[in-house]
Homo-oligomer: A and B are copies of this chain.
Amino acid sequence: MNTRYALGMDFGTNSCRALIVDLEDGQELATSVFEYPSGDHGVLSDPKDPNVARQNPRDYTVGIEVTIKEAIERARDVRVSFDPSNIIGIGVDTTGSSPMAVDQYGIPLACLPEFEGDLDAMVWLWKDHSSYDEAARNTELAGRIRPQYLGKIGGVYSSEWFWSKILHCRNVAPHIFKAAASFVEFCDYIPALLTGDTRPGMIQRSVCAAGHKAMYNGAWGGLPDKEFLAALDPSLADLRDRLYSSVATADKRAGTLSPEWAEKLGLPRGIAVAVGAFDAHMGAVGASIREGTLVKILGTSTCDIMVWPSNRPLADIGGVCGIVDGSVLPGYLGIEAGQSAVGDIFLWFVNHLVPDSFGKTTEEKFRRLETLAAGQRVGEHGLLALDWNNGNRTVLVDVRLTGLLLGQTLHTQPYEIYRALIESTAFGALTIINRIEEFGVPIQEIVNCGGLASKNALLMQIYADVTGRPMKVSGSDQTPALGAAIFGAVAAGEEAGGFSNVRVAQEKMTRVGDTFNPDPTAHKVYQDLYRLYHQLHEAFGTKEWSGSMFNVMKDLLALRDRQRL
């Protein structure tokens, strides 16, 4: 039998990527990246409102064609025997919640001449925060009349999510809302597009997007009920009928590749197109997630993913963003937590507060800071920071929090602050780990993926030392696309040369790379520092805390003096 391949499509914030993977051993044969041409690196903004972040759906269509064709070319270059007719399935992940308004044929309103250039007709990108008022109303209403809705999303509905955005569209762009036959998530739109049928009623909706962002749950009959939606706004109750009443996991087919797309791309007709999901969730699959594994996707912000058997009881984990059946692996609850800013904090610091003596470019500065910070003993800098420059997602679920740095003297150096900032994100990570375990989900293994995991060895070592746990790094540095390819192969099925289920596919196609082991001496010191971090965390982050802060600077100086000897 010929070697079979699957194709993973990963749609990020600034670019999309196609990846061709060998199903025999998971080898990543060829990849191609397409930078979105619209706006600023693919993001359309509104000079009048800094919260607005939109995307042009045309960028996606172009991106599919460019990247898949180029990946096929490259695969041919690296392997003479490669034949695209042996690609048996396609999986798709995207950012989210990133909904858009579509007409009755599923054509994005943004692509219709009458809405040409209308920002509100575009895709409302995940990081669009213009609907913060609507989010607050949603949280308030659910807390009052549907507390169960909040139980699965950590207690707070976000301005990044589906209903906030739709309602804000209704409020600020009624012409778009009225013209919309339905609203479709980015991750549902792409698979539908590839199958050749984007009619809203025919689109296979992803449980991942629906469950995590649209408060969809089988336990209460799918989407929020009409009474609730009407209380938000009567038009949303009407809209409910034009959305969806069933969802699917990503191991299922959205459909098969349409003849038009097959021809355009040089792929076989009729191959499986899997149901879509979000990048972090498919990334977790590409990073070998299974029961007991915490996958951390470390980027500008952080997404922490775990799974838990659906048939085993699990309490709502306070402060954890989402618990959704099947959002990661079929048959498992997907548990999603996260830190609102990690890499973004370092970028902010390096771009705004590091002099050019550390390097001419951001990258040079990072390298120099890392070298100098790595030379320090734990606690030698005497600093302690809170990683809240963008609020705190898990476990406090509070955007109205800010950064904090203390311990600075007249001698404090930028690389010391850099190290303290990395440590603050490690303490934040440990807080999430503790919270998940306190609610009865043991963590046996931690696998890290994303840019920071593969590029920042200092960060990985600090994470190991702070948590006292080995930090594994995923063997792939494109885990979302790899995860998507896995789902493509599972959706294709065994008979087509794919796999019967995700677990089997993961065993063949994923691996773990380097491991950073904790240094017990460093861990011991970090336990003391974490106690101080936790004290600040509780003091500034919770209503309940009350006590003295006098010890904080004293303890930190004493620890510093011990470590400097």
Residues of A within 8 A of B (CB): 341, 344-345, 348, 352-356, 382, 386, 388-390, 400-414, 417, 539-543, 545-550, 552-554, 556-557
Contacts and interface: CB of A to CB of B under 8 A. Distances in A.
A341 B410 contact: yes
B402 A406 contact: yes
B542 A545 contact: no
Given A404-B406, A408-B403, A540 B550 contact: yes
Contacts of A539: 548-550
Nearest to A549: B539
A201 B542 CA distance: 65
Given A353-B355, A541-B550, A409 B413 contact: no
A380 to B, nearest CB: 14
A359 to B, nearest CB: 11
Contact of A413 (B352, B406, B413): B352
Contacts of A401: 553
28 contacts: A341-B410, A345-B410, A348-B412, A352-B413, A353-B353, A353-B355, A353-B414, A354-B355, A355-B355, A389-B408, A389-B409, A389-B410, A389-B412, A390-B409, A402-B408, A402-B553, A402-B556, A403-B405, A403-B406, A403-B407, A405-B406, A405-B408, A539-B549, A540-B553, A543-B548, A545-B549, A545-B550, A549-B549
Contacts of A404: 404-406, 408
- Secondary structure of the A contact surface, majority rule: mixed
A414 B542 CA distance: 29
Given A403-B405, A404-B406, 6 more contacts: A353-B417, A388-B553, A402-B556, A405-B405, A405-B408, A546-B548
Contacts of A405: 403-406, 408
A549 B539 CA distance: 5
Contacts of A543: 548, 550
A562 to B, nearest CB: 14
Contacts of A390: 409-410
B344 A410 contact: yes
Most chain B CB atoms below 10 A, which of A354, A406, A410: A410
A353 B356 contact: no
A549 B556 contact: no
Given A547-B546, A552-B540, A553-B540, A407 B412 contact: no
A345 to B, nearest CB: 7
Contacts of A410: 341, 344-345, 348, 389-390
A40 to B, nearest CB: 16
Most chain B CB atoms below 10 A, which of A341, A409, A557: A409
